[in-house]
Amino acid sequence: MKNKVRFFQSVNFKIAFSFILILLISIEIIGAYFIRGLEKETINNFTNDMNQRVSILSNSLGTTMSQKQGTDTSWEDIQQLLENNSASDIEEMWVVDDKGIVRATNDVGRKDSIVGKKNEYSDIDDFSMKQYVALDDDSNKRVYINVQPIQSPTGDSAVLGALYVKSDIEQKYTEISDTAIIFFTASLIAGVISMIVALLVARSITKPIEEMRQQAIKIAQGDYSDKVEVHGHDELSQLAETFNKLSDRIEDAQDTMEAERNRLDSVLTHMTDGVIATDRRGKVITINEMALSLLGVKNEDAIGESILTLLDLEEEYTLRKLLEAQEELLLDRSKSDLEEDRMILRADFAMIRRESGFISGLVVVLHDVTEQEKTAEERRQFVSNVSHELRTPLTSVRSYLEALDEGAWQDEEVAPEFIQVTLGETDRMIRMINDLLNLSRMDSGNQQLDLEFVNFNELVDYVLDRFDMMITNQNKKYTIIRDFTERDLWVEIDTDKIMQVIDNIMNNAIKYSPDGGKITVHLLETHNNIVLSITDEGLGIPKKDLEKVFERFYRVDKARARKQGGTGLGLAISKEVIKAHKGSIWVESVEGKGSTFSFSLPYEPYEEDWWE
Ligand code: ADP
């Protein structure tokens, strides 16, 4: 963009050069005609003048020679005549008699060596008239040779001799070439001046163009701050004005685009779904915050990466397959098998098509469906659990009834036992269905808590008293130890439900404890909670199951729990009840040593005189 235009390639140079070229060609043509005309004129003038002078001289020579024919005085007169007629432009002048003997010359210095001798010039030999320009061998100058026969002025026109004149025509040529030199010097000066003028004119044209070019470069770099200066009202200034308007328009369009992009960016940033856009080769060009956090990658790592690699799909899919399928995919992005690391993403794919139908990229929308998937899976699990749990007691009821039907009813020993078992199983099923109904009510939020202020110490005492009473009825022996805070703890609870929770935990403690085990019940308060924990000396719960005992139908040892008449729903219900009270429930256990189930409830200590 910034590359400089070389001077010889510039418009500046081209305009100036053409200007000068035209000028030089014109000067050359004019000069050639002028010089040629001048030369013709000058040389013609010179030769005409010379011819005339020579002809006049030869006439007077003819007269003199015919009057004083053959006498020495006549030759002297003739010599005198030549000397008189000699001029600066005449180099040599001879008069030859009819025998070819030189009789007179204008060159006084060489007179003696020439006069009386045979002439040296063959031009004179035939006494005819000759007029021509020749190059003089001695002086190496151009000379005009003029040979004129000298005739007697009388009627017979007899040839008396010849006049030979060699004149210096070279000076005329020198004059012409001097004029030519002046002419060319003048045209050279004119050339230089016009070159400067041309450069100035060209600059005045190219300067605004160069300014516009610079401005265009700036615009290309996104700088709209400058404007091209507008001088005058010519086409270039109109172009500059249009250019400035164009620059404004581009700036406006750029601003609108920028605003649009910002809006899109902020929409993308604040979207709760992850959005990824790729180019047509599937390389990521845009990715929003949500997508980055869902995929656990950094922006700089994601940009330019293939979408297939980013989503771990390169083994199953090619880009073409993905484009053709255009389906939604479930991506398992779980970091480990742990529940908290689980992550399921739903990816919806859409192609970006131009109006021409050309596919220019791909948009992927990522949605975190971990919870949905978990719920769906739980629901499936729950239905399968319920069916399974109900089928087992039903199967056993059915087999007992079959046995009875087949005649066992008549057997007085087994019949009552069989009937007892079927009744027990039916009771368990009823219990289970009641539990399920309870849970379902709590799930749907239909269960209202019947809150009242209760002295919690008394409530726990009351429940434990009942268990103490039951010891005598049961075949399993146990001891309940109470370790309560001395302070009366008043809490706002749904008494029946909380009693159900304590019952549950106590029942489990007894159920899973060995005969004669100790059950310790602690009641204490913290700053804003009360905590009830029930510790048994039972078989305990393996570490891996600790979290799961609060799940529906979860039992550590299924067969054994069932034998104990458990439904696997007790702790699940307890958890829901405590949750509804905004408390929490947890378990600590050492396998083989025993377990501690605890729950806490919110509690506000009140001043003693609050009631008064
Ligand atoms: P269940 O009706 O089977 O007792 P719960 O929901 O009350 O159902 O308990 C779930 C499971 O937790 C039980 O099956 C048992 O395996 C385990 N569990 C509960 N309490 C104790 C305990 N005190 N000691 C040992 N395991 C227990």
Q: pLDDT digits over 80-106, tens only?
A: 888 888 888 888 888 888 888 888 888
Locate tokens 């009388």: which residue? 154
Q: Give the model's pLDDT for residue 105.
A: 87
291 burial level (CB within 10 Å; 0-12, 13-18, 19+): buried
CA 571 to ligand 1: nearest atom: 6
- Closest residue by CA, ligand 1 atom 7: 570
Gap from CA of 539 to ligand 1 centroid (Å): 11
Q: Cα(499)–Cα(588) distance, rounded to whole angstroms?
A: 21
Gap from CA of 448 to ligand 1 centroid (Å): 27
For the segment 6-32, what is each residue's pLDDT rounded down to a tens digit?
A: 778 777 788 888 888 888 888 889 888
- Average pLDDT in the 254-283 region? 90
Given a cut of 60, is residue 609 above it in pLDDT? Answer: no
| % of residues, the chain, pLDDT over 70 | 96
Given a cut of 50, is residue 37 above it in pLDDT? Answer: yes
Given a cut of 60, is residue 256 above it in pLDDT? Answer: yes
Q: Give the model's pLDDT for residue 1.
A: 44
Gap from CA of 439 to ligand 1 centroid (Å): 17
- Average pLDDT in the 362-370 region? 91
For the segment 473-529, what is each residue's pLDDT rounded down to a tens digit?
A: 777 888 999 999 999 999 999 999 999 999 999 999 998 888 888 999 999 999 889
Q: Cα(60)–Cα(57) distance, rounded to whole angstroms?
A: 5
Task: Provide the 10 A C-beta neighbour count for residue 451.
Answer: 12
Q: Is the dihedral of CA 182, 188, 189, 191 positive or negative?
A: positive
Q: Give the model's pLDDT for residue 91.
A: 86
Gap from CA of 590 to ligand 1 centroid (Å): 14
CA 504 to ligand 1: nearest atom: 7
Query: Which positions ≥6 away from 488 have C-beta within 8 Å?
Result: 455, 457
Q: Report the residue among 549, 586, 595 best suited for mutation to probe ligand 1: largest number of ligand atoms under 8 A from its CB.
A: 549
- Average pLDDT in the 40-66 region? 90
CA angle 525, 547, 391 (to 5 degrees): 120
Given a cut of 70, is residue 255 above it in pLDDT? Answer: yes
Do the two domains 13-176 and 271-368 of this chain adopt the same fold?
Answer: yes
Domain boundaries, the chain: 13-176, 271-368, 374-442, 448-611
Ligand 1 cavity residues, CB under 6 Å: 504, 508-509, 512, 536, 538-541, 549, 554-557, 561, 566-572, 595
For the segment 318-363, what is each residue's pLDDT rounded down to a tens digit?
A: 888 877 776 788 888 888 877 788 889 999 988 888 888 888 888 9
What value does the mean pLDDT of the chain take?
Answer: 87
68 vs 479, higher pLDDT: 479
- Average pLDDT in the 39-45 region? 92
CA 569 to ligand 1: nearest atom: 6
Residue-level length of the chain: 612
CA 573 to ligand 1: nearest atom: 6
**Per-residue tokens: 532:** 């009830």
- Closest residue by CA, ligand 1 atom 12: 549
CATH class of 271-368: alpha beta
Q: Give the model's pLDDT for residue 405.
A: 92
Q: Is the dihedral of CA 376, 381, 382, 386 positive or negative?
A: positive
- Closest residue by CA, ligand 1 atom 11: 555
132 burial level (CB within 10 Å; 0-12, 13-18, 19+): exposed
**Per-residue tokens: 571:** 């702790």
CATH class of 448-611: alpha beta
- Helix residue spans in 332-486 (DSSP H): 370-405, 414-443, 456-470
Q: Report the residue among 555, 586, 590, 596 best suited for mutation to probe ligand 1: largest number of ligand atoms under 8 A from its CB.
A: 555
For the segment 428-482, what is each residue's pLDDT rounded down to a tens digit?
A: 899 889 888 888 888 888 778 889 999 999 999 999 999 988 887 777 888 999 9
SS3 279: coil
Gap from CA of 555 to ligand 1 centroid (Å): 6
Q: Give the model's pLDDT for residue 237.
A: 84
Please name the fold of domain 374-442. Answer: Helix Hairpins (1.10.287)
Gap from CA of 528 to ligand 1 centroid (Å): 29
Given a cut of 90, is residue 534 above it in pLDDT? Answer: yes
For the segment 236-245, what is each residue's pLDDT rounded down to a tens digit?
A: 888 888 888 9
102 burial level (CB within 10 Å; 0-12, 13-18, 19+): buried
**Edge-to-edge strand ranges of the sheet holding 328-332:** 284-287, 274-278, 359-368, 344-353, 328-332
With beta carbons less than 8 A apart as the criterion, state whether 522 and 535 touch: yes
For the segment 549-558, what is each residue's pLDDT rounded down to a tens digit?
A: 998 888 887 7
- Closest residue by CA, ligand 1 atom 14: 555
Q: Report the residue among 512, 562, 575, 597 best suited for mutation to probe ligand 1: largest number of ligand atoms under 8 A from its CB.
A: 512
Given a cut of 60, is residue 2 above it in pLDDT? Answer: no
SS3 4: coil
CATH classification of 13-176, choosing from 1.10.357.140, 3.90.550.10, 3.40.50.11540, 3.30.450.20?
A: 3.30.450.20
Gap from CA of 554 to ligand 1 centroid (Å): 8
